[in-house]
């Protein structure tokens, strides 16, 4: 089905309209590999005796976990605030409220029809340019749509005076790797060159992402201006970023040490990359953020839940350990007890605190960058 859908999408005139069937087939392959484990883990969580009390206790630890993850990275005075109370409703319930902070929709950042972004910002900005966050949605590299993803975070930052850009990007199976990353870099380059038209500061652009978007955000942050990953961007395009936020991301494309990781690499081979890791190990190494960590990496904040059955928390821990051992920049890590995949769309008890924590981290990095710039000018 996957091969037929890809072939049919290349037909003239009608091919473009058949691309969604390829994405559906690809998502089916992903679901076949991950859904049974996800359902089993969820059922155990809800049915096992005493788990209701455990889930409640884990949610109550959210603010403490956020503060612990930022301690030593963000000043203690920044953490001494009134943190948001848990919300009994899932964040998706507040979609229309969040959408009020969208300033402009479907702005083109490239020539392809899929290269679109939404601009989130307050109606009135201060006179000085606002810091910028570019958000990369998830979707297992076969879905790259900006709808519904990251809304709580984008709304929170927009109300704090940030300009946020939420992007669409091209996905497998019709667009093989590294087209996903090339599109993210094209959006960063667009922001560096054009975000001032929306009140943003071209000299401070951070990137964040969830799940597959977390992988893309981390890899973009670690490979600035790398020629073989710039796609069709003109020479001199700036794809560097000033900070990275990875939220339940996948950071290793090489490791096949567990059954879950072996299934994941098989999915990459069949659907996303179209080449095997045994014959093309260099592709998978170059696509692994954990293998691209270097001393000049930008500041990182990684957020992951211990209850994630799609991307186990061990992957985040390994990535953070590697960052802390090598990078000269700040590295924060927030591990949320019991939180599952996509908690920021489904779990109101955690989402407010996470948006607040990410805002504190980004505001701190932005302040430090402004201070460094002032010193350099003087």
Phi, psi (degrees; rounded to nearest 5) at 47: -95, -35
- Catalytic residue, from 308, 327, 355, 364: name it: 308
Task: Confirm whether 240 is a catalytic residue.
Answer: no
Phi, psi (degrees; rounded to nearest 5) at 342: 65, 30
Q: Contact, 58 vs 330, CB < 8 A? A: no
Question: What are the structure tokens assigned to 267, written together?
Answer: 């999915």
Nearest to 332 by CA among 352, 307, 357, 306: 357
Task: Confirm whether 174 is a catalytic residue.
Answer: no
Distance, in Å, from the CA atom of 3 to the CA atom of 26, rounded to the nearest integer, reads 10
Distance, in Å, from the CA atom of 241 to the CA atom of 224, rounded to the nearest integer, reads 7
Residue 356 CB contacts under 8 Å (≥ 6 apart), including other chains: 66, 81, 83, 84, 156
Q: Is 312 helix (H, G, I), strand (E, B) or coil?
A: coil
Task: Confirm whether 203 is a catalytic residue.
Answer: no
- Catalytic residue, from 5, 155, 182, 211: name it: 211
Return the axis-axis angle of helices 151-159 and 348-377, rounded to nearest 10°.
50
Distance, in Å, from the CA atom of 101 to the CA atom of 164, rounded to the nearest integer, reads 10
Query: For residue 98, what are the CA distances in angstroms to 93, 226, 270?
Result: 10, 35, 37
Please, what sign has the CA dihedral across residues 169, 171, 174, 176? Answer: positive
Distance, in Å, from the CA atom of 306 to the CA atom of 278, rounded to the nearest integer, reads 31
- Catalytic residue, from 341, 344, 347, 364: name it: 341
Ordered strands of the 243-247 beta sheet:
102-108, 116-120, 163-167, 130-136, 200-210, 243-247, 300-305, 331-336
Residues with a known catalytic role: 211, 308, 341
């Amino acid at each position: 089905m996957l091969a037929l859908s890809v072939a049919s999408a290349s037909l003239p005139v009608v091919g473009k309209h058949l691309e969604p069937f390829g994405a559906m087939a690809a998502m089916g392959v992903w679901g076949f590999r991950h859904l049974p484990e996800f359902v089993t883990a969820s059922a155990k969580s809800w049915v096992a005796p005493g788990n209701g009390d455990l889930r409640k206790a884990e949610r109550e630890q959210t603010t403490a976990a956020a503060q612990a993850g930022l301690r030593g990275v963000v000043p203690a005075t920044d953490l001494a605030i009134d943190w948001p109370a848990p919300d009994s409703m899932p964040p998706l319930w507040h979609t229309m409220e969040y959408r009020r902070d969208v300033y402009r929709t479907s702005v083109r950042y490239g020539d392809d029809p899929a290269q679109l972004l939404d601009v989130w910002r307050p109606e009135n900005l201060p006179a000085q340019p606002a810091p910028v966050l570019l958000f990369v949605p998830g979707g297992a590299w076969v879905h790259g749509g900006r709808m519904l993803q990251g809304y709580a975070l984008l709304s929170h930052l927009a109300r704090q005076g940030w300009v946020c850009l939420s992007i669409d990007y091209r996905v497998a199976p019709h667009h093989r790797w590294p087209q996903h990353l090339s599109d993210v870099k094209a959006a960063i380059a667009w922001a560096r060159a054009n975000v001032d038209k929306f009140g943003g500061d071209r000299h401070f652009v951070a990137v964040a992402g969830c799940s597959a978007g977390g992988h893309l955000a981390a890899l973009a942050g670690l490979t600035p201006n790398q020629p073989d990953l710039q796609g069709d961007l003109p020479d001199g395009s700036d794809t560097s970023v000033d900070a990275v936020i990875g939220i339940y991301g996948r950071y290793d494309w090489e490791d096949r040490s567990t059954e879950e990781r072996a299934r994941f690499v098989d999915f990459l081979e069949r659907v996303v990359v179209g080449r095997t890791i045994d014959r093309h190990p260099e592709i998978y190494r170059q696509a692994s953020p954990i293998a691209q960590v270097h001393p000049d990496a930008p500041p990182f904040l990684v957020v992951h839940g211990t209850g994630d059955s799609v991307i186990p928390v061990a992957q985040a821990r390994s990535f953070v350990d590697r960052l802390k051992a090598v990078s000269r920049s700040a590295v924060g890590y927030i591990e949320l007890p019991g939180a599952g995949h996509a908690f920021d769309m489904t779990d109101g008890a955690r989402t407010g605190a996470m948006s607040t924590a990410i805002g504190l981290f980004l505001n701190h990095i932005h302040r430090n960058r402004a201070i460094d710039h002032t010193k350099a000018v003087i």
